[in-house]
Chain A
């Protein structure tokens, strides 16, 4: 992929993340205003296609955005070049995706609703 396409991918993933962050924080503040338990959270998220889609998209955008950002930091600050840099940033992206996907799956899979 060309540098320019990677640049666009990073900016577009930021564009996706911005409203998601606001929604995420907004819903959190709204949901816990009278206190909330883990069971209540899971009651709403488990089996919800909506929350699965929301957080899955979020995780994908974060993995792309962070990996591409760190790719530049790795080259300008740590002097990584060529395959070393590409493999390191790919590993960061995949690692973030694995952590995020695991979390999303844990709270949305199963349940009855």
Chain B
């Protein structure tokens, strides 16, 4: 392991609890190492101070999207967040992701987040069968550029936790699911544009977005769900005024 950076340990306050046990803060002292991430800190606590601490991670390199937590009140991917960048006066606070039910401590139930991907019609509608050849796609085409813009989403739910509309409206599909719908809408291999527009026009649809852009500010992959949602809004308006979709 890397060198301990200083004599004084950092103070890490972890919000703990779950159903049946109200959330309460618990503070741990953790040695500060070089290049240490927030996920390293949480793991250190679990391995050295309290083995009952629950949290979730898998890849540790920013690919799987399972390690997101609230750090000092804002959502972050903890495996790629350096502690030294977020320490305030030698302390940090770590809590479970906002807008999702807590299972225990830092592990949240992500089902509502993924269920909304399906609700937003975030599934493929093929234009061809397995017996047909592969459709040639021009990577430079305008539609493909739009689709490519959102393709690197790692389903981390950071944007969902950052969104105040999700907090105020439990039906709202949220930035990631809507961005996925927009990606598929622009995918030339996707056949059913109309059903996507229907799915994003309901009581939790894209029209509830307030366009304040917290999703885009906090997305760790620098994606732009705000722009995707604006695209869906104008696509639904164009359809309203009679433009036909393929």
Binding site for B on A (CB under 8 A): 2-4, 7-8, 11, 72, 75-77
- Asked if B195 is an interface residue, CB under 8 A from chain A, the answer is no
CB proximity to A under 8 Å, residues B175-226: 201-203, 205, 207-208
Smallest CB separation, A72 vs chain B (Å): 7
- A-B pairs with beta carbons under 8 Å apart, 11 shown: A2-B202, A3-B201, A3-B203, A4-B202, A4-B207, A4-B236, A4-B240, A8-B237, A11-B237, A72-B208, A76-B165
Q: How far is the CA of A75 from the CA of B165 in the complex (A)?
A: 11
Contact A75 B207 (CB under 8 A): no
Contact A8 B240 (CB under 8 A): yes
A-chain residues with CB within 8 Å of residue B240 when the two chains form the complex:
4, 8
Contact B169 A2 (CB under 8 A): no
Contact B168 A75 (CB under 8 A): yes
Q: How far is the CA of A85 from the CA of B240 in the complex (A)?
A: 26
Q: How far is the CA of A77 from the CA of B164 in the complex (A)?
A: 10
A-chain residues with CB within 8 Å of residue B202 when the two chains form the complex:
2-4
Smallest CB separation, A85 vs chain B (Å): 11
Contact B169 A76 (CB under 8 A): yes
Contact A3 B207 (CB under 8 A): yes
B-chain residues with CB within 8 Å of residue A72 when the two chains form the complex:
208
Q: Which residue of B lies closest to A10 (CB)?
A: B207
Smallest CB separation, A7 vs chain B (Å): 4
